């Protein structure tokens, strides 16, 4: 087993636990008496401490032990929850997170900055670990202050065959148990190997039966194996427990052809020494009585070493013969971790498969061979299914990303003396992992703006007749094949007049120009525009918002702002579900082919030359009784004379437009390719795709086309 693999596994697991601990700490601040949350926090710290100790990360183990001790006192009601303690726990969580991150670095030693931080935190924790002074009471007996009594627990360890490959070292568990208590009567169980040729040195074929003498309870011992319970067969029971418990252990053993004594040893009922004593007793009885040897089970029962019902259970186990080789995994896990790079490679391969299938499909249509077309159609269906399944593998709920803003809102609001509640909804809405990673920074900036400049202070809100506590809402939902993220606050809203004055002063717009509310609010995304009277270290409404828009548009998304002065602001972000493969609708314009994202296509119309001339002259199209803007693709891209026989109605962000095209080719799958540096600033295109014949088709950027329409309207 490579140690780096163990560190990587620890990094993944510990990061998840630390994120959960942050959420639990914030929840505990709201509900200080929640016993379940306190226990969960303690369990998280205990698990990280144990796992760190098992792979030799002593810095993490030592520090987390202090945090665990404070949480233990909190569990025992020796200290109370207050804002100071929550702040300290959150800072400790951040520090442990930093320690976890350096586990994969070559130099794992602490920097001077981290050492200073650690000392500050240890000083803070010491205040909660100091002995509580009590009033002098009558004489206290020695038994009242005695240490908890040690108990002996029997632990049965059977490891998954892939344990070593999964960066787990069974011996590290044993070594850690020795630090928890005294390991007694340990027996190593080695599964049978048919031959050396069949043996795989990377497979784990070893198990342990041992007794552990410790003052820890069963739950605390189970926490030692937190990372390994699901993948391996680990059973913990009190030594010399009831016969029913041992019967259950025997029944849970993998089916095999072990002899009775082996079954009893594997289940922890007997030690090897006890079995040898019983065998000697068996031989002695046979020699004295001059009869056949008595059944070993009878000897075990007669000598009181094993209860009769336990022997019966072991005998029943002997009757079951395994169908597979000994030592298989006890139970396959319902989930499996997959490296993100492998998923990216899979998506790329699926993309190439889509392109290759497009070529086969097009060739079958040219050839006109019936059986080939039928096979091609079936293959297309399979490729579609593979594409959909591979894309779902990358989809994760956005709720985990939303929850991280709880800490952000809490810390900034405390610093600014505001009372703000973050309300999250739509957390189960799934989005491509890459999109979630890239949208985090824009969301962070918008939320910080809402906290800093959107929500008023408590005094301001009371003077305006608002509730003292402000509210920021994060919501996500699906709409027309896209995902919509809304950030809404009930703060002061945007001041349109101030935005206009600032835009005029820096030369963004002409002073005499009339703009709609949407156009005014969109000005906050222009570089250098800030409506804040004083720039803070946290944010400035408009400062950096141009970066927010640029990052969102880089994801083929769009952002809109709606605000009512004195009531609040709503920022709406539209994003595609994925960045890799889309269903497209191919059209022809001026002898060239273009692809429109299928989710944005509403309807298609056939028009004659007279109707086209009329629509083109007016600049709008009557769609279901509503007037929507019209634009000719030939004129937009300057492709010469247009035949424009069709109109495609497209939608984006709640807006619709009519696009004139020459031909309709129908739906297809498009693997999105970047345009590269040379064409990345081209307006109206979001990428390109390779067609079945090897030629390229540009993918239309509907959002960009709407912007071109707005630009034309202004001019």
Is the model more confident about 31 or about 161? 31
Is 621's pLDDT higher than 70?
yes
Total domains, the chain: 5
Write out pLDDT tens, residues 388-429. Answer: 888 888 888 888 888 888 988 998 888 888 999 999 999 888
* Confidence category of residue 145, pLDDT binned at 50, 70, 90: very low
CA dist 238 → 15, 217, 675 (Å)? 33, 10, 66
Q: Judge if 497 and 539 occupy the same domain.
A: yes
Q: Judge if 303 and 436 occupy the same domain.
A: no
On whether residue 627 sits in a domain, the answer given is: yes
| CATH code, domain carrying 448 | 3.30.565.10
| Range from 15-24, 208-217, 244-253 that averages highest in pLDDT | 15-24
Q: Judge if 382 and 402 occupy the same domain.
A: no
On whether residue 138 sits in a domain, the answer given is: no
| CATH code, domain carrying 650 | 2.30.30.40
Q: What is the DSSP string of 347-396?
A: HHHHHHHHHHHHHHHHHHHHHT-HHHHHHHHHHHHHHHHHHHHHHHHTEE
On whether residue 599 sits in a domain, the answer given is: yes
Write out pLDDT tens, residues 445-461. Answer: 899 888 988 899 999 99
Note the pLDDT of residue 472: 94
Q: Judge if 225 and 358 occupy the same domain.
A: no
Is 137's pLDDT higher than 50?
no
Note the pLDDT of residue 669: 79
Q: What is the DSSP string of 552-588?
A: HHHTT-EEEEEEETTTEEEEEEEEES-SSEEEEEEEE
On whether residue 381 sits in a domain, the answer given is: yes
**Alpha-carbon dihedral 278, 282, 285, 290, rounded to 10 degrees:** -170
CA 269, 271, 276, 278 torsion: positive or negative?
negative
Supply the mean pLDDT for the chain. 77
Q: Which of 554, 576, 598 is the last residue of a domain?
A: 576
Q: Judge if 427 and 567 occupy the same domain.
A: yes
Q: Judge if 553 and 591 occupy the same domain.
A: no
Q: Judge if 554 and 619 occupy the same domain.
A: no
Q: What is the pTM of this model?
A: 0.63
On whether residue 156 sits in a domain, the answer given is: yes
Q: Judge if 191 and 246 occupy the same domain.
A: yes
* Confidence category of residue 323, pLDDT binned at 50, 70, 90: very low
On whether residue 137 sits in a domain, the answer given is: no
Q: Which domain holds residue 385?
A: 340-389
On whether residue 323 sits in a domain, the answer given is: no
Q: Judge if 169 and 77 occupy the same domain.
A: no
Q: Judge if 420 and 384 occupy the same domain.
A: no
Q: Judge if 40 and 162 occupy the same domain.
A: no
| CATH code, domain carrying 47 | 1.20.120.160
On whether residue 526 sits in a domain, the answer given is: yes
Q: Judge if 368 and 472 occupy the same domain.
A: no
């Amino acid at each position: 087993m490579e140690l780096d693999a163990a560190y990587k596994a620890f990094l993944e697991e510990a990061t998840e636990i630390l994120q959960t601990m942050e959420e639990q700490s914030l929840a505990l601040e709201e509900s200080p008496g929640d016993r379940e949350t306190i226990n969960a926090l303690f369990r998280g710290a205990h698990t990280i401490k144990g796992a760190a100790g098992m792979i030799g990360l002593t810095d993490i183990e030592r520090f987390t032990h202090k945090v665990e001790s404070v949480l233990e006192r909190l569990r025992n009601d020796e200290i109370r929850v207050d804002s100071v303690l929550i702040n300290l726990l959150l800072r400790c969580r951040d520090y442990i997170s930093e320690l976890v991150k350096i586990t994969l670095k070559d130099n794992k030693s602490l920097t001077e900055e981290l050492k200073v931080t650690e000392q500050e935190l240890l000083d803070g924790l010491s205040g909660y670990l100091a002995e509580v002074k009590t009033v002098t009471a009558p004489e206290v007996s020695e038994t009242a202050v005695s240490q908890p009594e040690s108990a002996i627990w029997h632990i049965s360890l059977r490891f998954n065959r892939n344990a070593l490959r999964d960066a787990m070292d069974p011996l590290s568990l044993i070594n850690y148990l020795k630090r928890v208590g005294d390991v007694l009567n340990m027996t190593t169980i080695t599964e049978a190997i048919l031959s050396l040729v069949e043996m795989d040195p990377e497979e784990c074929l070893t198990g342990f039966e041992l007794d552990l003498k410790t003052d820890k309870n069963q739950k605390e011992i189970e926490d030692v194996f937190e990372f390994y319970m699901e993948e391996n067969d680990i059973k913990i029971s009190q030594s010399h427990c009831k016969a029913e418990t041992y019967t259950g252990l025997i029944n849970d053993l993998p089916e095999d052809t072990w002899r009775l004594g082996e079954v009893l040893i594997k289940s922890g009922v007997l030690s090897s020494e006890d079995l040898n004593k019983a065998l000697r007793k068996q031989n002695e009885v046979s020699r004295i009585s001059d009869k056949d040897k008595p059944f070993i089970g009878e000897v075990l029962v007669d000598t009181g070493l094993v209860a009769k019902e336990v022997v019966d259970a072991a005998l029943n186990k002997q009757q079951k013969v395994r169908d597979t080789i000994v030592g298989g995994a006890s139970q396959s896990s319902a989930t499996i971790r997959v490296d993100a790079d492998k998923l990216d490679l899979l998506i790329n391969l699926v993309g190439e498969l889509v392109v290759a299938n497009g070529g086969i499909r097009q060739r079958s249509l040219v050839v006109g061979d019936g059986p080939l077309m039928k096979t091609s159609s079936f293959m297309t269906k399979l490729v579609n299914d593979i594409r959909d399944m591979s894309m779902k593998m990358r989809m994760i709920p956005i709720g985990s990303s939303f929850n991280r803003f709880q800490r952000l809102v809490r810390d900034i609001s405390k610093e600014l003396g505001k009372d703000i509640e973050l309300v999250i909804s739509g957390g189960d809405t799934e989005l491509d992992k890459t999109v979630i990673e890239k949208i985090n920074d824009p969301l962070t900036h918008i939320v910080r703006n809402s906290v800093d400049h959107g929500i008023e202070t408590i005094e301001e809100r009371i003077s305006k007749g608002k509730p003292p506590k402000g509210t920021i809402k994060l919501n996500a939902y699906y709409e027309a094949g896209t995902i919509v993220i809304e950030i809404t606050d009930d703060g002061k809203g945007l001041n349109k007049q101030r935005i206009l004055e600032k835009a005029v002063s820096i030369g963004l717009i002409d002073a005499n120009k009339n703009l709609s509310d949407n156009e005014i609010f969109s000005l906050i995304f222009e570089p250098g525009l800030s409506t804040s009277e004083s720039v803070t270290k946290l944010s400035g409404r408009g400062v950096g918002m141009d970066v927010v828009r640029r990052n969102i548009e880089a994801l083929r998304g769009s952002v809109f702002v709606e605000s009512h002065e004195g009531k609040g602001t709503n920022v709406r972000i539209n994003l595609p579900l994925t960045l890799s493969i889309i269903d497209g609708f191919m059209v022809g314009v001026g002898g060239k082919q273009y692809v429109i994202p299928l989710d944005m296509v509403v309807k298609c119309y056939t028009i004659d030359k007279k109707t086209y001339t009329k629509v083109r002259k007016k600049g709008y199209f009557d769609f279901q009784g509503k007037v929507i803007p019209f634009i000719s693709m030939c004129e937009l891209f300057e492709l010469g004379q247009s035949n424009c026989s069709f109109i495609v109605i497209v939608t984006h962000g709640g807006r619709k437009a009519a696009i004139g095209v020459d031909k309709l080719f129908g739906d297809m799958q498009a693997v999105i390719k970047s345009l590269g540096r040379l064409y990345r600033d081209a307006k109206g295109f979001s990428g390109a795709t390779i067609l079945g014949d090897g030629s390229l088709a540009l993918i239309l950027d509907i959002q960009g086309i709407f912007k071109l329409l707005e630009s034309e309207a202004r001019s």
